[in-house]
């Protein structure tokens, strides 16, 4: 009896094991099939793309098929969404390494086949990943006619969609009369700035917009972005327009303008920066930027009293900054400050020693 029980148990375990391994094999079969199908289709598409690129460089050679014949062949092969997406990915990957006519023919293939429409439909999907994918594809393939549809997503409830839409807008609008959009209200993150700057670096210098135009935007985020881009591309023609920002009601923007004017050596606006410091004497971040600007474009004789006034400031960093600026302007701090109202010798000695300590110098 016990032998029969052990035999039955053994058979049960064997059957379970066989079922388990069979299930694994059955599960792997579709994956293996899909992988082989993907690789075969990828190879076919890549051969066609290579042929199109070669053909574009030998347009007058009758040995090569016409573009229409290639399109007809591809149209037959991309009847599934899977095939469409694979071809889009390959077109984008190849285009990123090409310029001129070779890149243009890949954009033609994307537009003439139902691939652009495939990307456009993603903008209306519920999936955030699909929306982002559609935005990136349309921007990468330079579909300028899709700009209105892309800009509709600038007001999307999800910030990540707003940001991707903004990047796509900047990339596509660089050939249009406008580049930025005033109704974008989300923060422009560092990675967005990097992405946009990378794109602007890839286009001819004459097509890079004059960012001072957006110093007058009603949108703070756009103003900040415009100042940053003007600095990155050293657009010195922005200098007169930065002066207007010194009077901006937003202290952060006024500080950015003062900082950049100092960095660019705009000595003619030193008095305007002094006025900014006098209007907002209690704002530490702004005071530090004003002091730094004066260290670069100030005049010791004309602006020494202004810098000395910061010695009464509560912040230790501001007072250190003021002494550094005075020394940069070749003022004898002790002699200059001795008659200044509110001057404390002991406190000055401590700060002066700190500023001039060799171990603390940058």
Name the H helices within the chain.
Answer: 2-56, 67-77, 81-95, 100-112, 115-122, 128-140, 147-151, 159-173, 190-201, 220-232, 239-246, 251-263, 270-279, 284-297, 300-308, 316-328, 333-337, 345-355
In tens, the pLDDT along 21-61 reads 555 545 555 567 678 888 888 899 999 999 888 876 666 55
Listed residue (180, 166, 286, 294) closest to 230, CA to CA: 180
Report residue 15's pLDDT band, with 50, 70 and 90 as the boundaries.
Answer: low
pLDDT over 60 (residue 362): no
- Chain-wide mean pLDDT for the chain? 83
Phi and psi, residue 43, nearest 5°: -65, -40
pLDDT over 70 (residue 361): no
- Mean pLDDT score, 80-92: 93
- Mean pLDDT score, 339-358: 59
In tens, the pLDDT along 278-310 reads 999 889 999 999 999 999 999 988 898 888 888
> How far is residue 248's CA from residue 217's CA, in Å, rounded to a whole number?
11
pLDDT over 70 (residue 84): yes
Report if pTM > 0.95: no
pLDDT over 80 (residue 353): no
User: Within 10 A of 88 (CB to CB), how many other CB atoms are there?
Assistant: 21
Here the tokens at position 324 are 């550094």
Report residue 62's pLDDT band, with 50, 70 and 90 as the boundaries.
Answer: very low
Q: Which of 36-45, 82-91, 335-344 is the most confident on average?
A: 82-91
> How far is residue 27's CA from residue 17's CA, in Å, rounded to a whole number?
15
């Amino acid at each position: 009896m016990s032998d029969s029980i052990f035999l039955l148990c053994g058979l049960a375990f064997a059957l379970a094991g066989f079922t388990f391994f069979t299930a694994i094999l059955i599960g792997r079969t579709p994956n293996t099939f899909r992988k082989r199908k993907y690789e075969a289709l990828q190879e076919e598409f890549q051969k066609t793309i290579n042929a199109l690129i070669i053909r574009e460089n030998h347009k007058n050679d009758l040995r090569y098929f016409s573009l229409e014949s290639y399109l007809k062949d591809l149209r037959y092969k991309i009847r599934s969404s899977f095939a469409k997406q694979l071809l889009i990915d390959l077109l984008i990957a190849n285009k990123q390494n090409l310029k001129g006519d070779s890149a243009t023919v890949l954009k033609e293939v994307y537009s003439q086949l139902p691939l652009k429409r495939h990307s456009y439909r993603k903008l209306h999907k519920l999936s955030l990943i699909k929306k982002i994918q559609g935005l990136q594809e349309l921007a990468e393939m330079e579909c300028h006619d899709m700009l209105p549809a892309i800009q509709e997503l600038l007001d999307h409830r999800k910030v990540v969609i707003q940001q991707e839409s903004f990047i796509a807008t900047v990339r596509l609008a660089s050939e249009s009369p406008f580049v930025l959009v005033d109704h974008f209200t989300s923060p422009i993150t560092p990675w967005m700035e990097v992405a946009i700057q990378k794109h602007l670096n890839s286009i001819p210098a004459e097509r890079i917009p004059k960012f001072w135009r957006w110093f007058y935007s009603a949108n703070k985020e756009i103003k900040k972005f415009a100042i940053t881009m003007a600095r990155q591309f050293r657009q010195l023609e922005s200098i007169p327009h930065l002066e207007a920002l010194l009077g901006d009601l937003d202290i952060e923007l006024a500080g950015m303008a003062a900082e950049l004017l100092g960095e660019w050596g705009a000595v003619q606006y030193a008095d305007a920066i002094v006025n900014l410091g006098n209007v907002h004497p209690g704002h530490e971040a702004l005071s530090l930027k004003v002091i730094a600007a004066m260290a670069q474009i100030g005049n010791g004789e004309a602006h020494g009293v202004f810098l000395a006034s910061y010695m009464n400031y509560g912040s230790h960093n501001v007072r250190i900054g003021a002494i550094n600026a005075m020394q940069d302007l070749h003022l004898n701090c002790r002699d200059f400050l001795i008659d200044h109202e509110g001057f404390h010798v002991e406190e000055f000695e401590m700060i002066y020693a700190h500023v001039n300590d060799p171990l603390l110098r940058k």
